[in-house]
Structure 1
Amino acid sequence: MLVVVLLGMVAGFLALRLYAVLGKRTGHEQPLVRPAEERVGAPPVPRTIDVQPEPRDVSQRHVEPAAENGLRAIIASDPTFDVAEFLEGAKSAYGMILDAFWKGDRQTIDWLTDAEVKAAFTGEIDAREAAGHTLENRLVSIERAVISDASVAAGIARITVRFDADIAAVTRDAEGNVIAGSLTDAVETHDVWTFARTLKSGDPNWKLSDTDEA
């Protein structure tokens, strides 16, 4: 599971604002994604990813058909939720959590992951530090981010996002010698991350609850 996190980077100052980005919505619209011009400050999002009762082909865009009913269930429980804004926040979270893992930033990992993921990540950091290894990794680009699944069960919302990214990675030993990887050759990475939040709790925070490879 943790092989996928040996690679990238997004500015750390965004960590304190991440939770506000992951899925806030101001209206009660039925479409899963509002037009970009209605979301002040949000990046442009094509209208073609709006999911209607008879959805257009979104499998190659932002939401896979298997996730549509789950997303509607989340919106029914939390009308402030917005799919496009959640996806932008998830991409920021992807970069921030990877960056924190590579740098050994346990505090950011604690903010953004649940207990099980936190334990796995910090265990890997401890092992790396004990070996005297350091990572010089860089997230070159996120080529694609797609919501592949969504659900609500026992009051907990879960959304799974598949990330296709290019990452450059170098591992150095205690003397600074390169023992693996290259910063000049990016590697294609395909990760599947699931974010979770307890609905109707008054807590808007989403946390990373599972990671896997696509």
Structure 2
Amino acid sequence: MNYSFEYIDIILLAMIAGFIFLRLRGILGKRSGYEGKSSPQFQEVLNKIKVDSQKKPSDKFDDEAQKEFLKGAKIAYETIITDFSDNDNKITNAKPLLNKDIYDQFDDALKNRAKRGHYAEITFIGVNKAEIKEHKKNGNILNVTVDFIAEVITCIRDKEKKIVSGDPEKIKKIYDTWVFSRDTTSVNPNWQLVNILT
């Protein structure tokens, strides 16, 4: 009889352990696929555009909202520029920040660069200035045009590592005007680059 009670105890303990395991797995999740760490820079961008399902989106674009927007826009600008210069010939970190048309343009440019056997070298010094030029609302869509002034060291090299353009020793000032867009009725507060003005 004692043996039967011991078996029952073992079975009960196993069931309890299994229950606890399933509960922990349900709460903590399980490891699957790639779990490498993204760069701190990209993580900051993700934090800026992260969806907060507890808050309703605001269609206000007052001074405070503009300041927050510009903080994120500077990070997005650097992420996009440096991602385009990476030599894996594809847009990775910046993809969520681009609408389909801009992504396709960047992707085509990278493919053409790869076909020519060229690769880019870039050191992003920083954004000197980011200023909202204008913001317009078209229905539910808010478009914000931003003037950027930034400094980079950049050059393009060919297969033999000869310089095709740029100067690896010289800081270059670049001027860009980008248009970001967001649907103000969406619970997703993501801004995307929708146009690059010349």
Letter paired with 2:94: I
What is the Cα-based RMSD across aligned positions, in Å?
2.5
Matched, 1:144 2:171: no
Are the counterparts in 2 of residues 22 and 90 from structure 1 also a CA contact under 8 Å? no
Higher RCO (CA < 8 A, seq sep 6+): 1
What amino acid is aligned across from residue 176 of structure 1 in structure 2?
K
- Cα distance, 1:17 vs. partner? 3.9
Alpha carbons of structure 1 residues 198 and 106: separation in structure 2 relative to 1, 3 Å: same
Q: Aligned partners of 2:184, 2:159: CA distance in 1, in Å?
A: 45
Match of 1:31 in 2: none
Q: Deviations over 1:165-207 (max 9, x none)?
A: 1221111111222222112211221100111111111111111
Equivalent in the alignment of 1:6: none
Shift of 1:107: 2.3
Of 41, 44, 48 in structure 2, the residue corresponding to residue 14 of structure 1 is: 41
Cα distance in 2 for partners of 1:86, 1:97 equals 16
1:1-214 to 2 correspondences below 5 Å: 12-21=39-48, 76-77=59-60, 82-103=65-86, 104-213=89-198
Kindly name which structure, 1 or 2, has the bigger radius of gyration based on alpha carbons.
2
Q: What is the TM-score with the length of structure 2 in the denominator?
A: 0.69
C-alpha contact (below 8 Å) 1:172/1:180 kept by paired residues:
yes
1:137 aligns to what SS in structure 2? strand
Match of 2:11 in 1: none
> Tell me, what secondary structure is at the counterpart of 1:126?
helix
Q: CA deviation at 1:23?
A: 10
> What's 1:4 paired with?
none
Q: TM-score, normalised by structure 1?
A: 0.64
Q: Following the alignment from structure 2 to structure 1, what is the Cα–Cα distance between the partners of residues 46 and 78? A: 14
Deviation at 1:76, TM superposition (A): 4.5
Task: Tell me, in whole angstroms, the C-alpha distance in 2 between the residues paired with 1:141 and 1:147.
Answer: 18
% identical aligned pairs: 24
Deviations 1:75-100 (A, max 9, x none): 65579x72211101100000000011
Distance in 2 of aligned mates of 1:78 and 1:167: 31
